[in-house]
Amino acid sequence: MRLLDTIKSPADLKALTVERLPQLAQEIRDAICHQVSRTGGHLAPNLGVVELTIALHYVFDFSFDRLLFDVGHQCYPHKLLTGRLPLLDHLRTRRGMAGFPEPSESPFDLFRVGHAGTGISTAVGMARGDALTGEAFDPKHRPDGRRVVTMIGDASIVNGVAMEGLNNAGTLPRQFLVVLNDNGMSISHPQGAVSQYFDRVRLSSLYADLKKSAGEILKHVPGGSLVREAYHRAGEATKAMLDEGGWFEQFGLKTVGPIDGHDIPTLIGILSEARDFPRPMVLHVKTVKGKGFAFSEADASKFHSPPAFEFDTPEEGEPAERACRVELKSEGRSFTSAFSDAILGLLARDPKIVACTAAMPDGTGLTKSLAAHPDRVWDTGICESHALDMMAGLAKTGFRPFFAVYSTFFQRAFDQAFQEASLQGLAVRLCLDRAGLVGGDGAVHHGFCDTALLRTLPGAVITAAIDEPSLIAALEFMRTHDESLSSVRYPRDVVSARLANQPCPPFVLGKARLLTPEIANPDAAVLAFGTPALTAFDAAEQLKGEYRIEVYDARFAKPVDAALIRRLIESGTPIITLEDHSIVGGFGSAVLESAQEMGLSAAGVTRLGLPDSFIHQDSRSKQIAEAGLDAVSIARAIRESVLRRADTTARGGPGASRPAPEPKGAIPLNAALHGQSRP
One-letter-per-residue 3-state SS of 92-149: CCCCCCCCCCCCCCCCCCCCCCCCCCCHHHHHHHHHHHHHHCCCECECCCECCCECEE
Instruction: State the Cα–Cα distance between residues 408 and 441, nearest whole angstrom.
Output: 11
pLDDT of residue 648: 73
Beta-ladder partners of 461: 486
Residue finishing a domain among 246, 271, 286:
286
Residue finishing a domain among 252, 286, 320:
286
Annotated active-site residue in 51, 102, 244, 384: 384
Task: Evaluate whether residue 313 is within a structural domain.
Answer: no
* Burial letters 603-624, b for 16+ CB under 10 A, else e: ebbbbbbbeeeebbbbebebbb
pLDDT of residue 576: 98
3-class DSSP state for residue 268?
helix
* Burial letters 153-190, b for 16+ CB under 10 A, else e: bbbbbbbebbeebbebbbebebbbbbbbbbbbbbbbeb
Phi and psi, residue 311, nearest 5°: -150, 155
Categorise residue 184: left if φ over 0, alpha if ψ from -120 to 50, beta otherwise: left
Cα–Cα distance list, 500 to 425, 495, 504, 517, 649 (Å): 37, 11, 9, 16, 39
Instruction: State the Cα–Cα distance between residues 551 and 98, nearest whole angstrom.
Output: 36
Task: Evaluate whether residue 24 is within a structural domain.
Answer: no
| Residue-level length of the chain | 679
Task: Evaluate whether residue 83 is within a structural domain.
Answer: no
Burial degree of 597 (CB within 10 A; 0-12, 13-18, 19+): exposed
Phi and psi, residue 601, nearest 5°: -75, 135
3-class DSSP state for residue 81?
helix
Low-confidence ranges of the chain (pLDDT < 70): 185-247, 312-330, 650-679
Q: CB neighbours of 455 closer than 8 A, spacing ≥ 6?
A: 462, 557, 558, 585, 589, 590
Say which DSSP state 334 is in. B
Active site residue 211: no
Burial degree of 442 (CB within 10 A; 0-12, 13-18, 19+): buried
Is the Cβ–Cβ distance between 514 and 459 less than 8 Å?
A: no
Same domain, 368 and 473: yes
Annotated active-site residue in 289, 492, 513, 639: 289
Same domain, 529 and 484: no
pLDDT of residue 49: 95
Report how many domains make up the chain.
3
Beta-ladder partners of 355: 377, 402
Task: Evaluate whether residue 312 is within a structural domain.
Answer: no
Same domain, 525 and 483: no
Same domain, 457 and 523: no
3-state secondary structure 523-585: CEEEEEECCHHHHHHHHHHHCCCCCCEEEEECCEEECCCHHHHHHHHHCCCCEEEEEEEECCC
Same domain, 132 and 273: yes
Active site residue 289: yes
Beta-ladder partners of 607: 577
CB count within 10 Å of CB 86 equals 10
Q: CB neighbours of 674 closer than 8 A, spacing ≥ 6?
A: none
Instruction: State the Cα–Cα distance between residues 432 and 238, nearest whole angstrom.
Output: 47
pLDDT of residue 205: 33
Same domain, 444 and 578: no
Is the Cβ–Cβ distance between 251 and 170 less than 8 Å?
A: yes
Task: Evaluate whether residue 654 is within a structural domain.
Answer: yes
Instruction: State the Cα–Cα distance between residues 629 and 530, nearest whole angstrom.
Output: 12
3-class DSSP state for residue 27?
helix
What CATH number is given to the structural domain containing 364?
3.40.50.970
pLDDT of residue 210: 38
Task: Evaluate whether residue 587 is within a structural domain.
Answer: yes
Same domain, 207 and 69: yes
What CATH number is given to the structural domain containing 578?
3.40.50.920
Same domain, 603 and 481: no
Task: Evaluate whether residue 41 is within a structural domain.
Answer: no
Instruction: State the Cα–Cα distance between residues 485 and 457, nearest whole angstrom.
Output: 9
pLDDT of residue 238: 37
Same domain, 139 and 275: yes
pLDDT of residue 194: 46
Rg of the chain in Å (alpha carbons): 28
Per DSSP bridges, beta strands 400-406 and 429-433 are: parallel
Same domain, 432 and 532: no
Same domain, 621 and 661: yes
Same domain, 58 and 194: yes
Residue finishing a domain among 489, 510, 539:
489
Q: Which domain holds residue 448?
A: 335-489
In 3D space, the residue among 20, 27, 1 whose CA is nearest the CA of residue 58 turns out to be 20
Instruction: State the Cα–Cα distance between residues 195 and 186, nearest whole angstrom.
Output: 10
Annotated active-site residue in 412, 429, 434, 607: 412
* Cα within 13 Å of Cα(381), Cβ side: 19
Active site residue 412: yes
Task: Evaluate whether residue 10 is within a structural domain.
Answer: no
Type of residue found at 563: A
